[in-house]
Structure 1
Amino acid sequence: MKSPRYYRHTKIIATLGPATESREKLEQLIAAGVDILRLNMAHASREWVTNTVSRIREVSRQLERHVAVMMDIKGPEIRTGDVDGLIDLQVGGLIDFHNRHAPPSDDDVLSVSVNYPDLPNDVEVGQVVLVDSGLLRLRIVGKDEHRIRCEVLTPGKLGSRRHINLPGVHVSLPSLTEKDRDDLAAGVEAGIDFVALSFVRQASDVKILRDFLDEMDSDARIISKIEEQAGVRNMREIIRESDAIMVARGDLGIEIEYHQLPLVQAQLVRACQAEGKPVIIATHLLESMVSAPMPTRAEISDISNAVREQADAVMLSGETTTGAYPLESVEVFKSIIQSIEPSVDAELNSCIVLREPKAKMLRSSCTLAQELGNSGIVVFTRSGFLAYVLGALRPRGVPIFAFTDIETVFRQLLLPWGVEPFLMEFSDDPEQTIQDAMAYLKRKNWCDGGNWLVVITNVLVGDKVIDSLQLRQVE
Structure 2
Amino acid sequence: MKRNRKVKILATLGPASSDEQMIQKLHEAGADLFRINMSHASHDVMRTLVQRIRAVEARCGRPIGILGDLQGPKLRVGKFADGKVELKVGQTFTLDNKDEPGDSTRVFLPHPEILEAVKPGHRLLIDDGKLHLRAEKTDGKSIVTTVVAGTKISDRKGVSLPDTLLAVGVLTDKDRSDLDALLATGEFDWVALSFVQRPEDLAEVRKIARGRVGLMSKIEKPQALERIDEIIELSDALMVARGDLGVEMPLESVPGLQKQLTRACRRAGKPVVVATQMLESMISAPVPTRAEVSDVATAVFEGADAIMLSAESASGEYPVEAVSTMASIASNVERDPHYSSIIYAQRTPPEATGADAISLAAHQIAETLRLSAIVCYTSSGTTGLRAARERPQVPIIALSPIVQTARRLSVVWGLHCVVTEDATDLDDMVNRACRIVAHEGFGKPGERVIISAGVPLGTPGATNMLRIAYIGSDGMSGI
TM > 0.5: yes
| 2:149 match: secondary structure | coil
- The residue number in structure 1 matching 2:95 is 97
| 2:412 match: secondary structure | coil
Equivalent position to 1:272, from 244, 265, 276: 265
Correspondences of 1:66-465 after superposition (within 5 Å): 66-83=63-80, 86-92=83-89, 93-99=91-97, 102=98, 109-190=104-185, 191-214=187-210, 218-343=211-336, 344-346=339-341, 347=344, 350-373=347-370, 375-396=372-393, 398-459=394-455
Measured at CA, do residues 38 and 115 of structure 1 come closer, stay the same or move farther in structure 2, by a change above 3 Å? Answer: farther
Deviations along 1:343-402, one digit per CA (max 9) or x if unpaired, are: 212437531542312311210101111223251101111110000011111112x11100
Does residue 65 of the first structure (1) align with residue 58 of the second (2)? no
Question: How far is 1:422 from its partner?
Answer: 0.4
Deviations along 1:159-205, one digit per CA (max 9) or x if unpaired, are: 43322111121011222211111111111112210011111111121
Question: How far is 1:459 from its partner?
Answer: 4.3
Question: How far is 1:321 from its partner?
Answer: 1.4
- The residue number in structure 2 matching 1:471 is 468
The answer to whether the Cα contact below 8 Å between 1:348 and 1:394 also exists between their aligned partners in 2 is no
| 2:329 match: secondary structure | helix
1:438 and 1:353 mapped to 2: Cα distance? 27
Question: How far is 1:414 from its partner?
Answer: 0.6
- Bigger mean CA deviation after superposition, 292-301 or 308-317: 292-301
1:421 and 1:256 mapped to 2: Cα distance? 37
What amino acid sits opposite 2:191 in the alignment? V
2:69 and 2:324 mapped to 1: Cα distance? 24
1:300 and 1:193 mapped to 2: Cα distance? 29
What amino acid sits opposite 2:275 in the alignment? A
What amino acid sits opposite 2:224 in the alignment? G
Question: How far is 1:436 from its partner?
Answer: 2.2
The answer to whether the Cα contact below 8 Å between 1:90 and 1:154 also exists between their aligned partners in 2 is no
What amino acid sits opposite 1:366 in the alignment? H
Deviations along 1:132-156, one digit per CA (max 9) or x if unpaired, are: 1112212224444333233333335
Measured at CA, do residues 329 and 454 of structure 1 come closer, stay the same or move farther in structure 2, by a change above 3 Å? Answer: same
Deviations along 1:283-324, one digit per CA (max 9) or x if unpaired, are: 111111111221111111111111111111111111111111
Measured at CA, do residues 91 and 355 of structure 1 come closer, stay the same or move farther in structure 2, by a change above 3 Å? Answer: farther
Measured at CA, do residues 104 and 175 of structure 1 come closer, stay the same or move farther in structure 2, by a change above 3 Å? Answer: closer
| 1:187 match: secondary structure | helix
The answer to whether the Cα contact below 8 Å between 1:96 and 1:109 also exists between their aligned partners in 2 is no
Measured at CA, do residues 454 and 98 of structure 1 come closer, stay the same or move farther in structure 2, by a change above 3 Å? Answer: same
1:417 and 1:348 mapped to 2: Cα distance? 17
Measured at CA, do residues 94 and 357 of structure 1 come closer, stay the same or move farther in structure 2, by a change above 3 Å? Answer: same
5+ residue gaps, structure 2 = 473-479
2:377 and 2:65 mapped to 1: Cα distance? 19
Measured at CA, do residues 178 and 428 of structure 1 come closer, stay the same or move farther in structure 2, by a change above 3 Å? Answer: same
| 2:66 match: secondary structure | strand
- Count of residue pairs the alignment pairs up: 461
The answer to whether the Cα contact below 8 Å between 1:31 and 1:65 also exists between their aligned partners in 2 is no
1:128 and 1:82 mapped to 2: Cα distance? 21
5+ residue gaps, structure 1 = none
The answer to whether the Cα contact below 8 Å between 2:377 and 2:400 also exists between their aligned partners in 1 is yes
- The residue number in structure 2 matching 1:7 is 4
| TM-score scaled by length of structure 2 | 0.90
1:427 and 1:103 mapped to 2: Cα distance? 65
Identity of aligned residues (%): 34
The answer to whether the Cα contact below 8 Å between 1:89 and 1:155 also exists between their aligned partners in 2 is no
Question: How far is 1:223 from its partner?
Answer: 0.8
Does residue 35 of the first structure (1) align with residue 28 of the second (2)? no
The answer to whether the Cα contact below 8 Å between 1:37 and 1:70 also exists between their aligned partners in 2 is yes
1:334 and 1:108 mapped to 2: Cα distance? 49
